[in-house]
Amino acid sequence: MPVPTQTRRGLAIILSSPSGAGKSTMARRLTAWDPSLTFSVSATTRPPRPGEVEGRDYFFITRETFGDHIMNGEMLEHAEVFGNHYGSPRAPVEASLSKGCDVIFDIDWQGTQQIANSAIKQDVVSIFILPPSIAELERRLRERGQDAPDVIAGRMAKSEAEISHWAEYDYVLVNDDPDVCEDRLRNILTAERLRRDRQPWLTEFTRGLSAEFREREMS
Ligand X SMILES: Nc1nc2c(ncn2[C@@H]2O[C@H](COP(=O)(O)OP(=O)(O)O)[C@@H](O)[C@H]2O)c(=O)[nH]1
Q: What's the closest the beta carbon of residue 93 comes to ligand ADP, in angstroms? A: 19
- Binding residue for ligand ADP (CB under 6 A) from 9, 11, 13, 23? 23
Q: What's the closest the beta carbon of residue 185 comes to ligand ADP, in angstroms? A: 12
Phi then psi dihedrals of residue 164, to 5 deg: -60, -10
- Select the span of 28-36, 61-69, 75-83, 194-202 touching ligand X (CB under 6 A): 75-83
Interface with ligand X includes 79 (CB under 6 A)? yes
- Stretch 91-130: interaction string toward ligand ADP, x if CB under 6 A: ----------------------------------------
- Binding residue for ligand X (CB under 6 A) from 81, 93, 104, 181? 81
Which helix (H) or strand (E) segment holds residue 211: the answer is: helix 178-218
What's the number of CA atoms in the CB half-sphere (13 Å) around residue 16? Answer: 29
Phi then psi dihedrals of residue 126, to 5 deg: -110, 140
Spell out the long-range contacts of 92-98 with Cβ–Cβ below 8 A and sequence spacing 24 or more.
92/38, 92/40, 92/41, 93/12, 93/40, 93/120, 94/120, 96/10, 96/38, 97/9, 97/10, 97/11, 97/12, 97/123, 98/9, 98/10
Which helix (H) or strand (E) segment holds residue 103: the answer is: strand 103-106
- Binding residue for ligand ADP (CB under 6 A) from 13, 14, 22, 97? 22
Nearest residue to 10 (alpha-carbon basis) of 79, 99, 73, 86: 99
Residue type, 93: V
Between 143 and 217, name the residue whose CB sits nearer to ligand ADP.
143
Q: Is 92 annotated as a binding residue?
A: no
Interface with ligand ADP includes 67 (CB under 6 A)? no
Q: What's the closest the beta carbon of residue 4 comes to ligand X, in angstroms? A: 32
Interhelix angle 134-144/149-163, rounded to 10 degrees, is 140
- Stretch 148-187: interaction string toward ligand ADP, x if CB under 6 A: ---------------------------x--x---------
* Binding positions for ligand X, rule: CB under 6 A: 19-20, 24, 42, 46, 77, 79, 81-82, 86-88, 106-108, 110-111, 155
> Which residues line the annotated binding site for ATP?
17-24
